[in-house]
C-alpha cells in the first residue's frame, strides 16, 4: 500500500423543510499522498541532458542523402497538412481533420527505423505516419475528399488511412481503441516467429483508457514485441496533461506492469526519436520485450480544425515552441550547419512539397465519388470474393 487512509467521523446537522430535525453522518477520508519513489529497482532511462542524438550509432551512419530524405519527408508532411487545412476551409473536406503540424519528427523518425517486419498502427492524427511509410498524397487527399480514388475508396476519411502493403494499419477513431489491435499485431508477429515489432502510437489523451491498460498487461505478461509510443503534445483535445492524468510521467505507468519505459524530451529532434525508438525496436526484436515510450512534442494547431485553440493555451506558448523547437527548423539549421542542405535545396524541397500537395488537391477535386452500389462493397470479404463464397443466404437487408 502506498498510502494509509485516515478516517474521521463527521457529524452534520440538517434541518429539513418541515422543521423535523435530522442528522447526517459521513466518513471523511484523508489520504496521504502517493510516494514519488518508484517501487521497482529499475531506473528510468536517462533523459536528454547533454545528449547529442547525432552521435548515436543509428544516426552517425546516416549518409547525406538519407538526412536530406528525412528533412524532405518532414517538409512534405507539413505542406500536405497545410494544404488539407485550406481544402477543409473551402468545404471540400467534411467531418474531422486532425493535423500533425509540429509533430512531424516523430512519424518520420519512427518510420525511418522500421524493418521489413515492423508495423505501425496509430490513432486519428494519422496523416504524418501515412506519408512517412510511403503512402501517396494523391490517394490520401482523395480519401479526405471522400472520392473513390481515395486510399480507402472514400469509405474511411481523414482518420482512416490504411496500407497493409507498407505495414501501416491505420488510422483509428476511438481513442485508445487501436492499442489492443497493435498488441494483436505484435502477438501475430511473435506467433509467426518473425523478428519484428509493432509500434502502437497514441496521444497523451489515450493513456487513461481501460483498453490501453489491458494492452499493457497483455504485452508485459506475454512479452509481446510491441513498442507503445505516446505522442505527448501536452493536450488531450482541450484538457492539459495536468488536468487529465494522475501520477508522474505518462510513460512511468509502464512500471506498474514491469515494462521498460523511456521519455524522449526532445521529440522535435528527429534524430533523438530515431535513436530511442530504434533501441526500443531492438529490444522487441531481440528479446521480444515491450516498451512504453513517451515522446514530448507539440502541435501548433488545435486538436482538430473545429478547435479554436483559445480556451486552453495562449498564443505565446505556441510561438515559443515554434521559434525554438520546430522540428523542420531545428533539423534544417543543423543540416545547413554541416552543409548537407543549402538554401537553394531547401527552397527546392519546399516548392516541390507544395507542388506535390497542390497536385494532390487537384487530383482529389477531379476524382469521382463512389457510386451508390459501392456502399455495400468492402463490408464482407465473402461478398467481395464471390467465387470463394462458402456461406449462403442474405448478408444484406433492406
Which of 95, 134, 248, 258 binds other proteins (CB under 8 A)? It is: 95
Q: How far is the CB of 295 from other proteins (least distance, A)?
A: 22
Contact indicator for 250, 204 with CB cutoff of 8 Å = yes
CB of 275 to other proteins, least distance (A): 27
Q: Is 396 in the site for other proteins (CB under 8 A)?
A: yes
Residue 191 near other proteins by CB under 8 A: yes
Q: How far apart are CA 146 and CA 374, in angstroms?
A: 12
**Residues 134-153 interacting with other proteins (rule: CB under 8 A):** 146, 150-153
SS3 labels along 43-70: CCCCCCCCCCHHHCHHHHCCCHHHHHHH
| 154 makes contact with other proteins (CB under 8 A) | yes
Interface residue with other proteins among 102, 109, 128, 180 (CB under 8 A) is 180
What x-and-dash track marks residues 268-307 binding other proteins by CB under 8 A? -------------------------------------xx-
Please state the φ and ψ torsions of residue 44, each to the nearest 5 degrees.
-65, 155
Among 51, 96, 257, 312, binds other proteins (CB under 8 A): 96
C-alpha cell at 186: 505484435
The contact pattern for other proteins, residues 58-77, with x = CB under 8 A and - = no contact, is --------------------
237: contact with other proteins by CB under 8 A: no
How far apart CA 313 and CA 75 sit, in angstroms, is 26
318 counts as binding other proteins under rule CB under 8 A:
no
Q: For residue 270, what are the contacts with CB-CB under 8 A and spacing of at least 6? A: 70, 74, 104, 105, 108, 109, 112, 327, 331
Q: In angstroms, give the least distance from the CB of 135 to other proteins.
A: 12
User: Does residue number 391 form part of the binding site for other proteins (CB under 8 A)?
Assistant: yes
Interatomic CA distance for residues 361 and 140, integer angstroms: 10
Q: What is the strand order of the sheet 226-232 is part of?
A: 119-121, 198-203, 226-232, 291-296, 260-264
Q: Please report whether residue 356 would count as binding other proteins according to CB under 8 A.
A: no
Q: Which of 188, 330, 336, 345 binds other proteins (CB under 8 A)?
A: 188
Among 84, 121, 131, 346, binds other proteins (CB under 8 A): 121
CA distances to 35, 116, 145 from 287, in Å: 32, 17, 43
Location of C-alpha cell 521559434: 323
Contact between 94 and other proteins by CB under 8 A: the answer reads yes
- How many residues sit close enough to other proteins to count as binding (CB under 8 A)? 78
Which CB sits closer to other proteins, 92 or 282?
Answer: 92
Amino acid at each position: 500500500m502506498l498510502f494509509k487512509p485516515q478516517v474521521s467521523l463527521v457529524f452534520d446537522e440538517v434541518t429539513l423543510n418541515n422543521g423535523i430535525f435530522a442528522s447526517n453522518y459521513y466518513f471523511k477520508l484523508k489520504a496521504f499522498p502517493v510516494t514519488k519513489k518508484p517501487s521497482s529497482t529499475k531506473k528510468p532511462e536517462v533523459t536528454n541532458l547533454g545528449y547529442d542524438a547525432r552521435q548515436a550509432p543509428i544516426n552517425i551512419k546516416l549518409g547525406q542523402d538519407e538526412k536530406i530524405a528525412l528533412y524532405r519527408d518532414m517538409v512534405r508532411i507539413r505542406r500536405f497538412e497545410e494544404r488539407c487545412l485550406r481544402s477543409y476551409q473551402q468545404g471540400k473536406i467534411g467531418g474531422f481533420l486532425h493535423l500533425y503540424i509540429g509533430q512531424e519528427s516523430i512519424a518520420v523518425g519512427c518510420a525511418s527505423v522500421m524493418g521489413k517486419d515492423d508495423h505501425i498502427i496509430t490513432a486519428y492524427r494519422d496523416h504524418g505516419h501515412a506519408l512517412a511509410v510511403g503512402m501517396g498524397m494523391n490517394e490520401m487527399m482523395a480519401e479526405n475528399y471522400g472520392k473513390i480514388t481515395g486510399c480507402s475508396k472514400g469509405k474511411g476519411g481523414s482518420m482512416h488511412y490504411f496500407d497493409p502493403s507498407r505495414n501501416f494499419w491505420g488510422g483509428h477513431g476511438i481513442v485508445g481503441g487501436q492499442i489492443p489491435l497493435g498488441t494483436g499485431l505484435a502477438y501475430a508477429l511473435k506467433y509467426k516467429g518473425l523478428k519484428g515489432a509493432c509500434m502502437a502510437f497514441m496521444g497523451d489523451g489515450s493513456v487513461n483508457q481501460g483498453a490501453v491498460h489491458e494492452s499493457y498487461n497483455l504485452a508485459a505478461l506475454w512479452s509481446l514485441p510491441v513498442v507503445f509510443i505516446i505522442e505527448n503534445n501536452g493536450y488531450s483535445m482541450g484538457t492539459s496533461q495536468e488536468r487529465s492524468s494522475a501520477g508522474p510521467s505518462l510513460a512511468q505507468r509502464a512500471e506498474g506492469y514491469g515494462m521498460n519505459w523511456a521519455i524522449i524530451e526532445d521529440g522535435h529532434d528527429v534524430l533523438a526519436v530515431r535513436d530511442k525508438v530504434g533501441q526500443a525496436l531492438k529490444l522487441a526484436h531481440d528479446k521480444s520485450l515491450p516498451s512504453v515510450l513517451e515522446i514530448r512534442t507539440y502541435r501548433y494547431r488545435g486538436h482538430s480544425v473545429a478547435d479554436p485553440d483559445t480556451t486552453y493555451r495562449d498564443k505565446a506558448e505556441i510561438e515559443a515552441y515554434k521559434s525554438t523547437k520546430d522540428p523542420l527548423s531545428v533539423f534544417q539549421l543543423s543540416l545547413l550547419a554541416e552543409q548537407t542542405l543549402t538554401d537553394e535545396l531547401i527552397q527546392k524541397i519546399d516548392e516541390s512539397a507544395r507542388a506535390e500537395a497542390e497536385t494532390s488537391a487537384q487530383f482529389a477535386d477531379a476524382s469521382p465519388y463512389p457510386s451508390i452500389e459501392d456502399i455495400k462493397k468492402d463490408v464482407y470479404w465473402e461478398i467481395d470474393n464471390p467465387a470463394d463464397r462458402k456461406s449462403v443466404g442474405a448478408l444484406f437487408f433492406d
